[in-house]
Amino acid sequence: MPTKQTESAPSFLQVYTQVRRDRMKHSFLRQISACVDWRGIRTLLNKKYTKTQNATGNPAYDALMMFKILLLQTWYGLSDYEVEERINDSLLFSEFPLLDMGLPAPDHSTICRFRAELTRLGIMDKLLRELNKQFKKHGISRIDQGAIVDASIVDSPHAPDGSILIKVADDREDLRTEEEQAQEQAYQYELKSRKPGVDTEARWVRKGRHYRYGYKKHVLTDGQGLVESIITTPANCADTVVLPELIEKAELTQGVSVLADKGYCSKKNSACLLERGLIDGIMLKAQKGMKLTERQRELNNGISKIRCLIERTFGSIRRWFSGGRCRYRGLERTHTQNILEAMAYNLKRMPRLLVLQSTK
């Protein structure tokens, strides 16, 4: 005879679910949920993302829940379709964004529209800054001990076929004449009108002997490689012109040293650091017809040994999240991708950094 369910007699589903949760208590997602206070992110999202209804007139999904789904998608390299399926199929995936077990996951189109709305609102940099406050709160941020700057190319799969020859900018510096730059502008205009499948906001750049088409992400990290700020530009943008804006985004305090390779060496950048009260740690570049002194080479070697930490950041993002390749078309969408990968990278390192902090 059926009996009425009471609090003292949990259902089979509740018992089974609790057993599975106990087995997952040491999972990465459980650790992130325990480490991060999401209230600041929720406040920022709710302030900017004000939709109360979805396209069908039903109540809109919680903005923080949707944001966590984007993180899941980045951590595990899933498409919009795949992350929807995994949330419906996996208890751990549904638990992290706090989705009620009795409810289906947001469908792929809802996830896509939410990401597009965050891009349109232009709040990705603010979300990264808010999330990084968690690292300062736990005392594991090292931005006060120094900042490292570098850039990495993000290749676009939507490149033109290369049937038209143009002069391409070098990776470090654009030395083309005005006429050659005008030819590139005419080339891009022709792509936009005749090649609808091409990402016309991306640009060609020559890096060594290779020609690459896409964007460039300019990154500033703290002394242990955690990403503090990002600027996304077309791939042909010279590194030297971005440094002042990158520093401004990171809100560096006076007395912090800024390390960078020779590509950032310019009088303008050195003056910018001096004006802001920052220590100039840009590697020196030999002037034409001259060689660096022994002392200057030793200084460069010392900077290089510390600066290489940012290369580990780039390598880890490529290895963990298949970074270095555009998932979407357009500059703003690619910037959203770069920020999501940076947040996913920082959070992935958080549990281990907390353990190391506790042992000191």
- Residue-range domain boundaries for the chain: 13-121, 141-358
Contact 313, 228 (CB under 8 A): no
The sign one gets for the Cα dihedral 326, 250, 262, 302 is negative
Q: pLDDT > 90: what percent of the chain?
A: 54
| Residue-wise pLDDT tens digits, 5-17 | 445 566 655 555 5
CATH among 3.40.50.12280, 3.60.40.10, 3.30.420.10, 3.30.365.10 for 141-358: 3.30.420.10
Long-range pairs, 54-63, Cβ under 8 A, ≥24: 54/110, 55/113, 61/106, 61/110, 61/114, 62/98, 63/114
Give the 3-state secondary structure of residue 1.
Answer: coil
d(CA 60, CA 179): 52
| pLDDT of residue 68 exceeding 60 | yes
| Residue-wise pLDDT tens digits, 190-238 | 777 677 788 989 999 988 888 899 999 999 999 999 999 999 999 999 8
pLDDT at 41: 95
The pTM for the full model equals 0.89
pLDDT band for position 87 (cuts 50, 70, 90): very high
